[in-house]
Structure 1
Amino acid sequence: MKNRVITISREFGSGGRTIGKKVAEKLGIPCYDSELIQKIAEETGFNEKYIKEAGEYAPGGFLSTLTGRAYGPTNEDYLWKIQCKIIAGLAAKGPCVIVGRCADYILRDKADCLKVFIHADLAFRAERIVKEYGEREESPEQRLKDKDKRRAAYHRFYTNMKWGHAQNYDLTLNSGTLGIDKCVRIIQELY
């Protein structure tokens, strides 16, 4: 039998990472988020910061046309293959929660997945990222829009699916309306 895995996709600032960690803690199973980046770095030798940033940019964008690398495999493609291998390996080890990195798509045929998408309105997320990450030159709303746009493009590029589209998930939760703890309880009950 396949292991039960919860994948958490999320809008930036919605609390998806926090929800994933709390669910894993309540269920007594591992949660993989930044640990995925560390594992990819160990396997590839790439810098963790580079891996984190590459995971939110679709290959073939503006920079690739400047460098003449519009065709052929890119570092991002290599990282995608390693990421797929690592995520599949973690799911095969045992039940877990995996946050982001297109895990919902990667595990679609490899694990018994509860695919969750966490979202919230712009005002809730803007307030939350200022509390969590502090003020920046760029407005919180612009930071949210930019980060979500990059995540959506990356997801679309590698999965050919629309990121955040309800039909691609088993459950979508509005953390701004429900609150972080209620989202945790709902996911825990469905596990």
Structure 2
Amino acid sequence: MSARVVTISATFGAGGSTVGPAVAARLGLPFVDRAIPAAVAAEIGCTLDEALAHDGRAASGLGRILAGAARLPNVTLGGIDVYLPERAIVPEEEFVTRTERIIGRCADGDGGVILGRAGAVLLAERPGVLHVRLDGPRDRRLAAAAAAVAASGTPQREVERMLDDNDRARAAYVKHFYGADPADPRLYHLVIDTTRLPEAAAVDLIAAAARAV
């Protein structure tokens, strides 16, 4: 039996935005990424920019606020004493709840390849779902990220800042709302170092694993 849902958790520079769509095409499933905040915006009745500001994968979203709060004195991520700046009338938790519902509907419906947003935690107990983690040593991910933006002339120092900020933000989002560490290999069926394996090989591995679930 082949998995109808694949969740992919990826650190910055590990190729999630390219491996994910390639896996979806290989398995004949929709790639579910940008569609999530768009659907959240439609349900809540806010703009896409507002939904992205609360999204777990946004470059400047809620995860970044949580990561910044974690570095402040006397601030914890226990859900009680974290100060979140007022960003909208709609509570932060409402955006997260809507995101969870959309992921659940995806799993209940036609399925798909879901990138980020704690998919491995949300769907941990659901049968027929493959959970994948894409990662690699920081220096190799940094090199991959720098190569990807080389044409834009982005300085190396800026790419390094982007990598560290994004890694912290995505981890903070999962830890704050789900009490989990996205780097924990126990959350996944398959952990791949995509800085050492070419993309095609990673896609082959994920597709083979999906068909074996």
The two structures have a TM-score, normalised by structure 1, of: 0.85
Residue 31 of structure 1, CA deviation: 1.1
> What is the match of residue 30 of structure 1?
30
Residue 111 of structure 1, CA deviation: 4.6
CA contact (8 A) 1:38 1:48 kept: yes
> What is the match of residue 99 of structure 2?
83
Equivalent position SS for 2:117: coil
Tell me the number of residue pairs that the alignment of Structure 1 and Structure 2 aligns: 186
> What is the match of residue 185 of structure 2?
166
The 3 A distance-change label for structure 1 pair 127 and 76 is: same
Give the letter for the 2:102 counterpart. I
Give the letter for the 1:98 counterpart. I
> What is the match of residue 44 of structure 1?
44
CA contact (8 A) 1:3 1:94 kept: no
> What is the match of residue 55 of structure 1?
55
The equivalent position to 1:65 in structure 2, one of 83, 92, 109, is: 83
Q: Aligned Cα RMSD in Å?
A: 2.6
Structure 1: which 5+ runs fail to align? none
Identity across aligned pairs (percent)?
25
The equivalent position to 1:139 in structure 2, one of 139, 142, 158, is: 158
Give the whole-Å Cα distance in 1 for the aligned partners of 2:13 and 2:51.
20
> What is the match of residue 75 of structure 2?
none
The equivalent position to 1:98 in structure 2, one of 114, 124, 149, is: 114
Equivalent position SS for 1:65: coil
Task: After the TM superposition, list the runs of 4 or more consecutive aligned residues in structure 1 that deviate by more than 3 angstroms.
Answer: 58-62, 64-67, 130-138
What per-residue deviation string (whole Å, max 9, x for no partner) do you get for residues 119-176 of structure 1?
1222332233334344446521121011100100101111111111111111110001
Give the whole-Å Cα distance in 2 for the aligned partners of 1:65 and 1:171.
36
Give the whole-Å Cα distance in 2 for the aligned partners of 1:179 and 1:28.
21
> What is the match of residue 8 of structure 2?
8
Residue 50 of structure 1, CA deviation: 3.0
CA contact (8 A) 1:7 1:103 kept: yes
> What is the match of residue 181 of structure 1?
200
Residue 66 of structure 1, CA deviation: 7.5
CA contact (8 A) 1:3 1:91 kept: no
Higher helix residue share: 1
CA contact (8 A) 2:23 2:203 kept: yes
